[in-house]
Amino acid sequence: MATPLLPAIGFGTFRLEGREAIEAVKSALALGYRHIDTAQMYGNEAEVGQALRESGVAREEVFLTTKVWTDRLRRDDLIASLRESLERLGVERVDLALIHWPSPGDEVPMAEYLAALAEARALGLTRHIGVSNFTIGQIDAALDLPGGEQLVTNQIEVHPFLANRRVVEHCQARGVQVTGYMPLAVGRVMADATLQDIAATHGVTPAQVALAWVASRGIVVIPSSTRPHHQRANLEAMTLTLSDAECRRIDALDRDERIADPDFAPRWDPA
């Protein structure tokens, strides 16, 4: 597998708005995060950009990701949408541009939007390109298309209750790094008895155990929090080492519990 391009942990900004988004990103950067994940659909690219400028952290030190929404996948529109994203963010280019979801019902052919994404990279709008919420079949199809050889990641939902093991292992086998969103299952990990028990053994929180487990699988994690002490704890989870036995206990929690499942989602691979 190629050397990983993405920092091992990033700061997710889904559902963060307005001043709250600005302060959360500034706090994350002050604590040491150097990977910020946003998207056109989040409606907070301008706030993320403002936070970057106000943080005092040099632009070249931050790995910045955004995502193209499903209504902007046509060739010319995709490139125009990324230019709009750059304007909102106040940067010359992003470090990673993702296709947020496969085109619903394949309305826009994959060949068209992957070629456009590769063109955006060639134009200097982004350093790297990737996809999000792609199934095994879609990843294979994408890698075989012109531009597909440039894909560096597939961002998918991964947490102890949705290991997504088949997709993760397939992507990794094909040299595509996996980024795991919702690694804390929107807070549900905190109430799990197994995670609580393992956390007590290490003197940490169930959230830290969940993050350490996802990261132990070679997956980039992008947790989100507006509270600085939670942001710090999430960073510290990257130094937590779980035993093989503890990892097996967490593996057993997988129940194919998918949180992000809109009506336009692709047909998911079986667990």
Q: Which of 33, 42, 113, 181 is catalytic?
A: 42
Share of the chain above pLDDT 90, in %: 97
pLDDT per residue as tens digits for the range 73-85? 999 999 999 999 9
Q: Mutual orientation of helices 18-31 and 228-236 as an angle, nearest 10°?
A: 40
Could you tell me which of 91, 36, 88, 97 has the C-alpha nearest to residue 67?
A: 97
3-state SS record for 189-253: HHHCHHHHHHHHHHCCCHHHHHHHHHHHCCCEECCCCCCHHHHHHHHHHHHCCCCHHHHHHHHCC
User: Given a cut of 80, is residue 271 above it in pLDDT?
Assistant: no
Band (207; pLDDT cuts 50, 70, 90): very high
State residue 83's pLDDT score: 98
Q: Is 42 a catalytic residue?
A: yes
Band (4; pLDDT cuts 50, 70, 90): low
11-182 is a CATH 3.20.20.100 domain:
yes
Dihedrals φ, ψ of 86, to 5°?
-60, -40
CA distances 187 to 97, 148, 214, 218, 258, Å, are 27, 34, 15, 22, 14
Band (1; pLDDT cuts 50, 70, 90): very low
Q: What is the rounded average pLDDT of the residues 55-69?
A: 98
Label residue 195 exposed, middle or buried (CB < 10 Å: 0-12, 13-18, 19+). Answer: buried
Q: What is the rounded average pLDDT of the residues 133-157?
A: 97
User: Given a cut of 70, is residue 199 above it in pLDDT?
Assistant: yes
Residue corresponding to tokens 């509270």: 227
pLDDT per residue as tens digits for the range 96-141? 999 999 999 999 999 999 999 999 999 999 999 999 999 999 999 9
Q: What is the rounded average pLDDT of the residues 226-244?
A: 98
Tell me what the pLDDT averaged over the chain comes to.
97
Annotated binding site: 100
Could you tell me which of 269, 271, 1, 270 has the C-alpha nearest to residue 136?
A: 269
Annotated binding site for substrate: 100
pTM, full prediction = 0.97
